[in-house]
Amino acid sequence: MIDVIYVEREAWDYPRTREIVARFDGARVIDCERHGELFNRAAQNFRLQKQRPALMLAVKHGRKVLPVPSGYGLEDAPGYYFSHMLNCVYDCRYCFLQGMYRSANYVVFVNDQDFIDEIRRHAAMRDAPVWFFSGYDCDSLALEPVTGFVDGLLPTFADLENARLELRTKSTQTRALHRRDPLDNVVVAFSFTTVPAGEALEHKVPDIARRIDAMAALQARGWRVGVRFDPVIYHEGFEDAFASLCERIFAKIDGAALHSACIGAFRLPRDFFKRMRRLYPRERLFASHLSDADGMVGYPRELERALLDGARRRVSEYVAEDAIHCMDGGA
């Protein structure tokens, strides 16, 4: 899976680096000063790299925990996000990471404890609830067997009463959660699109049935789970396909016990969109139904409203209204 591993010299000081390198026995290991010099280099081809990404082990400097962008999050409580990894092992055509980064290589930050310390500091600054979102610049769990990040993070949330954690994922790598007692302040949020959208646009993603089974197993074990329909992708026959997706999910998931269901529009900054269209000029998603307004590309307002309202109505057949959140934008 990984042929080349770049290691920042400083990253060798962290035990996680040696553990990860040892997992990829045959990989070529190349030392580097700073991952950014390679990761941000101009004239890289994201699409080509995506076929055989290298792994970069790095130390995250500066702020590790950042306020969530507007439109992201669950409720009025302040929210922060963090990314222990950049890029994703999956390959969704609508993913904004393709527009954001020049490189498809995976960056894994090995200074886990610095992330944890910063989360603790932010939680300690408030008495009221505060959310921390993982899975903004990556999938929260897809590479967990390699990074072990979530496994090390969970005990922190066991003793932070006001902190809430969302692990957003399309992965079925849930072993770290099954190994521990469920925590009431942690939500594992699984993302779904309809079958036609998934087949056309989500490559390498575990199929819907496996994701539902993983979610059901966590719910049965006592973990709080959520569903994310974000972004909602329009296609012919969307309404029926969305109805059947909900039917499949809530045949196995107890909607009444669901933590939350979030529904988000497909919307991207114009520059990201342009870069993504250059990567996949023949992709139908980028060729139809979209409009460009105020620097953002998405569905025209009326279509977006109709999609979100229709999805909300359908989800509300299974989930209490106050657990449903409709959001503009997202990935």
Which segments within 93-185 are labelled E, that is strand?
Answer: 106-109, 130-134, 163-169
- Judged by CB under 6 A, the residue of 20, 21, 97, 107 near ligand SF4 is 97
CB 39 within 8 A of CB 49: no
- Judged by CB under 6 A, the residue of 90, 148, 213, 270 near ligand SF4 is 90
- Residue 24 binds ligand SF4, judged by CB under 6 A: no
Residues in the chain: 331
Q: Which residue number, 17 or 87, has a Cβ lying nearer to ligand SF4? A: 87
- Residue 88 binds ligand SF4, judged by CB under 6 A: yes
**Residue 206 preceded by cis peptide, ω within 30:** no
CB of 94 to ligand SF4, least distance (A): 7
Q: What type of residue is 59?
A: V
Which helix H or strand E contains 269, and what residues bound it? strand 267-269
Nearest to 311 by CA among 252, 251, 228: 228
Q: Which residue number, 138 or 327, has a Cβ lying nearer to ligand SF4? A: 138
Which helix H or strand E contains 309, and what residues bound it? helix 301-315
Residues 6+ positions from 308 with CB-CB distance below 8 Å:
232, 263, 265, 326
- Residue 104 binds ligand SF4, judged by CB under 6 A: no
CA-CA-CA-CA torsion for 272, 275, 280, 283, nearest 10 degrees? 40
Binding region for ligand SF4 (CB under 6 A) out of 91-99, 219-227, 254-262, 303-311: 91-99
- Judged by CB under 6 A, the residue of 92, 188, 212, 232 near ligand SF4 is 92
- Residue 141 binds ligand SF4, judged by CB under 6 A: no
Binding region for ligand SF4 (CB under 6 A) out of 9-17, 89-97, 247-255, 297-305: 89-97
- Residue 84 binds ligand SF4, judged by CB under 6 A: no
Chain position carrying tokens 């590309």 = 297
Binding region for ligand SF4 (CB under 6 A) out of 86-94, 154-162, 264-272, 281-289: 86-94
Interface positions, 149-208, toward ligand SF4 (CB under 6 A)? 170
- Residue 95 binds ligand SF4, judged by CB under 6 A: yes
**What CA–CA distance (Å, rounded) separates 181 from 65?**
26
Q: What type of residue is 127?
A: D
- Judged by CB under 6 A, the residue of 107, 177, 276, 331 near ligand SF4 is 331
Q: Which residue number, 79 or 198, has a Cβ lying nearer to ligand SF4? A: 198
- Residue 311 binds ligand SF4, judged by CB under 6 A: no
Q: What is the CA radius of gyration of the chain?
A: 19
Using CB under 6 A, list all residues that contact ligand SF4.
Answer: 88, 90-92, 95, 97, 138-139, 170, 331
